[in-house]
Amino acid sequence: MENTGTAPASASVSASATEPAGGGDQRARAAARGLGLAVLVAAVLVSGVFITFLGPFFAIACDTCEDGVRGTLAYGDALIAVARYGVPLATFATLAGMVTSHRPGRVGGFGLGAQWSLFLVVVALGQLPA
């Protein structure tokens, strides 16, 4: 008598041999995604520190001034407020959004864009004539 209800042993072994053991491809993708997010977090932090501390210096720099620094600023208080409060707030909000979001890469990209937009605001406030 022949048993037709089960597959031969050689067929089941060959089917399991073609599938990856342990999902190595998924682990590689998860590792690459984690590394990419770590680089994006580092970029957000470095960008925030750079804009907060060096942004006002770029704003008050003057090529034609005697000592290289613009003497009077029309919107100096606004410039300092944006650099001191706006940029760190944008950095913190970006990092918090990246932690809580289902799409942290998108949040990080928008946050970087917001930070550099604030940098342009700081530089523009420094360049306006008094």
Q: Given this model, what pLDDT does residue 74 score?
A: 85
Whether 126 and 56 have beta carbons less than 8 Å apart is answered as yes
Q: Which stretches of the chain drop beneath a pLDDT of 70?
A: 1-23
What is the per-residue pLDDT for 129?
78
Using one digit for the tens of pLDDT, what is the confidence trace for 31-45?
A: 888 899 999 999 999
pLDDT of residue 13: 53
pLDDT of residue 18: 55
- Give the pLDDT of residue 24: 75
